[in-house]
């Protein structure tokens, strides 16, 4: 009768040098996790510091708009809100026609933004998706106009507005800003990369004309770029100072920026009042950015998901 023996545990074979065998557990596997965690912490700290540096000027504007001139120039600088905001706003309203200037600025900025979005997207769609004689030379000429400083066109533009009888009217601000080369270039590059040629050809086969193809195919695909261009144009027209100062001679037609410059006195300036006026001019821009940014942020996110 045979018996079966169960082998016992096998003793580890010592190495040639008599050292114990190394453990097979990955001791160094924790280092990549720790390095990623440290990298994430550093990234978040950099983002937080950048955000604080970005919002501090706006915070300082609020502090100065709620303070008096003596408090603004006090030492050490005051970093807390004051109690003079209501008085500063009343001084602004008493010094300039704030509501009329605000209405004029909204009309000019809104009209410029809408016209630029329409005309620039129309031209960009034609440059990107339609072949016509002289397309390349015209586009090169358009890009070349971006190299010309805007200050060189002030005198010719004023002469043209004078010949048209538009000096002192809001048309002198709206019509010259109805289109620009930057917007056409931006949307043309977007249309060339985001609108498939097959989609345009399909619209042509279905009998759609140029404008119908632009409206049904081009505009939906360029929604993110149009939102960015509209915000950019609105802010640019809102903050424009030199051209309205030259062409607007009627005090009732002044924009907000030209009206607020009347708050500066030759001998004594109430900086609390000036900062309150600047704060009033900034708040609508924040609202416009919040409303418009949702569209191009959503467009960017959709493109990232599709990619």
Domain contains 218: yes
pLDDT at 265 over 80: no
Domain contains 242: yes
Q: What band does 305 get if pLDDT is binned at 50, 70 and 90? A: very low
Q: Which whole number is the average pLDDT over 286-307?
A: 64
Q: Which whole number is the average pLDDT over 10-15?
A: 52
User: How big is the CA angle at 233 (ends 302 and 288), to the nearest 5 degrees?
Assistant: 65
Structure confidence by residue, pLDDT tens digits, 65-106: 888 888 888 888 878 888 888 888 888 888 888 888 899 999
pLDDT at 7 over 60: no
Q: What band does 307 get if pLDDT is binned at 50, 70 and 90? A: very low
- Compute the residue count for the chain: 307
Domain contains 50: no
**DSSP per-residue codes, 174-230:** HSTTS--HHHHHHHHHHHHHHS-HHHHHHHHHTT--HHHHIIIIIHHHTHHHHHHHH
For residue 159, the domain's CATH number is: 1.10.3720.10
Q: Which whole number is the average pLDDT over 122-135?
A: 89
Domain contains 102: yes
| Stretch (H or E) spanning 15 | none
Do residues 168 and 247 make contact, with C-beta atoms less than 8 angstroms apart? Answer: yes
Structurally, the chain folds into a number of domains equal to 1
Domain contains 220: yes
Q: How many CB atoms lie within 10 A of CB 104?
A: 22
Say how far apart CA 182 and CA 213 lie, in whole Å: 23
Domain contains 140: yes
pLDDT of residue 304: 43
Distance, CA of 208 to chain centre = 34
Per the prediction, the chain carries an average pLDDT of 82
Structure confidence by residue, pLDDT tens digits, 145-170: 888 888 888 888 899 999 998 988 89
Domain span at residue 105 reads 98-265
Structure confidence by residue, pLDDT tens digits, 168-200: 889 999 998 888 999 999 999 989 888 888 888
pLDDT at 20 over 80: no
User: How big is the CA angle at 54 (ends 52 and 59), to the nearest 5 degrees?
Assistant: 75
pLDDT of residue 125: 92
| Stretch (H or E) spanning 41 | helix 30-65
Structure confidence by residue, pLDDT tens digits, 42-65: 889 999 999 899 888 888 889 888
Domain contains 188: yes
pLDDT at 19 over 70: no
Domain contains 297: no
Percent above pLDDT 70 for the chain: 85
pLDDT of residue 252: 79
Structure confidence by residue, pLDDT tens digits, 197-239: 888 888 888 888 888 989 988 888 888 889 889 999 999 999 9
Do residues 111 and 174 make contact, with C-beta atoms less than 8 angstroms apart? Answer: yes
pLDDT of residue 67: 86
């Amino acid at each position: 009768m045979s018996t079966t023996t169960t082998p016992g545990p096998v003793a580890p074979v010592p190495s040639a040098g008599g050292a114990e065998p190394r453990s097979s557990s990955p001791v160094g596997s924790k280092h990549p996790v720790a390095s990623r965690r440290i990298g994430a912490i550093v990234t978040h700290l950099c983002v937080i510091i950048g955000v604080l540096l970005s919002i501090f000027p706006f915070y300082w504007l609020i502090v100065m708009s709620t303070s008096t001139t003596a408090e603004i120039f006090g030492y050490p600088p005051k970093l807390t809100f004051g109690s003079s905001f209501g008085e500063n706003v009343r001084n602004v309203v008493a010094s300039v026609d704030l509501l009329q200037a605000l209405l004029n600025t909204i009309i000019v900025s809104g009209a410029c933004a809408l016209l630029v979005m329409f005309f620039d997207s129309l031209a960009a769609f034609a440059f990107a998706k339609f072949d016509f004689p002289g397309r390349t030379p015209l586009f090169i000429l358009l890009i070349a106009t971006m190299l010309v400083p805007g200050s060189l066109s002030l005198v010719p533009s004023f002469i043209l507005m004078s010949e048209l009888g538009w000096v002192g009217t809001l048309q002198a601000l709206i019509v010259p800003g109805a289109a620009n080369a930057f917007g056409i270039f931006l949307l043309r590059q977007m249309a060339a990369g985001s609108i498939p040629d097959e989609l345009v050809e399909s619209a042509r086969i279905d009998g759609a004309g140029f404008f119908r193809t632009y409206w049904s195919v081009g505009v939906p695909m360029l929604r993110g770029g149009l939102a960015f261009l509209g915000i950019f144009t609105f802010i640019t027209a809102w903050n424009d100072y030199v051209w309205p100062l030259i062409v607007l001679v009627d005090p009732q037609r002044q924009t907000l920026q030209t009206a607020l410059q009347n708050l500066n006195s030759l001998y004594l300036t109430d900086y609390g009042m000036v900062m309150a006026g600047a704060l009033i001019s900034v708040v609508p821009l924040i609202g416009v950015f919040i409303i418009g940014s949702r569209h191009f942020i959503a467009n960017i996110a959709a493109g990232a998901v599709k990619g």
